[in-house]
Structure 1
């Protein structure tokens, strides 16, 4: 028994010696790691680290409201006639419910639906006081009850027209409801009117070919006064323009 414990003690000492020898063999070639230099203390003042600046989210701008629409009706009885060009007219109108009620009071209940709407076009060229019966001629243009404007082809430049909005009864009687303003179609050609105040300039222009001196000469002014029968031409003291000097 004594020898058994002695054997275990010797075995333990052998194992410790072997472990020490292995550790010494592993670490005998290693050198201690050099110490790294520490950074010098900064002389700059302490600085705060800024956070990321996030732009504010703009407030949602409300969409602009649409402009107010013009009313289609104003509750007034009116008929307006305009000249679009030498050959066409344009009429627009508004007829109140009062007109319809009054129409049925005069011509009987249901007369409005029984009648048909028309535009009666009058040629009133040169007529200062149009009474509805003294036009050069008239033409009826059928329309519908839903219409409140109409293009009218007249085909006659330089004429004056007027329009009645009315209804034709089953008997054929025309009942006017509204009358427009007179409208004049423009000319489709150059005007034939000449301004007599400027006719004398043509005489001056023709006289310049006969002279080799400027228009400011008293001789030509005297001759022009005598020829045109005028006391003053408004040219005294004027310097002759280069294009007026004949031959110069």
Structure 2
């Protein structure tokens, strides 16, 4: 059974965030030099109500979530396929493995000028950034997972004269599923972060990142903070949901 965290331990975990929030509120009311940066909580609350009532927050959040899901789907499907091919084919690993590992060392921000040159300030440019962010962790974890099948299981499969395709579906893939879900969880985090970053780099169209840029230009720091809080909350919820799904689907693997 999983050990339960006691209430005193949970309260200790809230001590530092509470102290930082109090320090922020103090700076908002007592520091005239940084009044622009430290927005009081009451102003943030009014900004949140206004953003919800005006219909500005939810459409931008929906656009970012849709963009994240699309990029995550593209990157994950390609990552599963690429990781599977590299793991199952020695020739493919020799031909493409070195290139893949070299390309994944390049930060996504370094690709931004080329992507902007190829696709302009467009939706395909944003989707490409998100897809690349999801591609790398899924490919790596799929590759590693397919190599985790125990040798005794593979020997037993050979004894029963299973074909390579049957060994893949019945032995290698079940053994790889925990690694695949780990890759998907990492891919979800990277895709969500990259979606916001791509919206700030290629700012045409709706999205939380675009909303933050507009608010910063208009010196609406309360809107910027609302966007930051929304990004953090949605990322946490999506990761928690995927973790619960993985636990249910992989219950048989324990």
| TM-score grouping bracket, smaller chain normalisation | under 0.3
Structure of greater Rg: 1
Question: Relative to total residues, which structure has the larger strand share, 1 or 2?
Answer: 1
TM-score by length of 2: 0.18
Question: Higher RCO, 1 or 2 (CA under 8 Å, sep at least 6)?
Answer: 2
TM-score by length of 1: 0.18
